[in-house]
Amino acid sequence: MNATLWSLAGLLAVLFLLAGLMKLGQPREKLVDSGMGWAADLAPGAVKAIGAVEVLGALGLILPAALDVAPVLVAWAAAGLAVTMAGAAAVHARRKEYPLIGVNLVLLVLAAVVAWGRFGPHAF
């Protein structure tokens, strides 16, 4: 199970790192033009803040355990990303972007599994 949790955390880390860097590195208008219509509803600073949360969450999934410095932060990072995906699903539901809700729910479940495993039976 430990290998499964590491694999899930690694997958989530890559996905959230890429998504977060994209939000941090591109102007809001370019994100909207590329299909992220929700970004038009938020201030540019809010979009950057979401990107920063995703990048920090991605780093939090790997670095604390890999460096053996406060490894409980892995579980907290996973829980935080699950909450982030719940918020994202709510935004997409409000905007009637139903196919995107499925993606959010899959990521939410994967993050919740990592949080459950690292808080519970497979803590470091």
What pLDDT, on the 0 to 100 scale, is given for residue 121? Answer: 85
Alpha carbon distance 43, 7 (integer Å): 34
> Residues 49, 52, 58, CA angle at the centre, nearest 5°?
145
> What's the mean pLDDT in 67-75?
96
CA angle 48, 50, 53 (to 5 degrees): 110
pLDDT at 30: 97
Q: What is the pTM of this model?
A: 0.92
User: Which among 122, 111, 113, 114 is positioned nearest to 87, based on CA atoms?
Assistant: 111
Q: CA-to-CA distance for 45 and 53, rounded, in angstroms?
A: 12
Rounded Cα gap, residues 54 and 74, in angstroms: 14
Taking only the tens place, the pLDDT of each residue in 6-63 is 999 999 999 999 999 999 999 999 999 999 999 999 999 999 999 999 999 999 999 9
Q: Per-residue pLDDT for 124 more than 90?
A: no
pLDDT band of residue 85 (cuts 50, 70, 90) is very high
Which amino acid appears at position 24 of this protein? L
Nearest to 112 by CA among 86, 78, 84, 69: 78
pLDDT at 34: 94
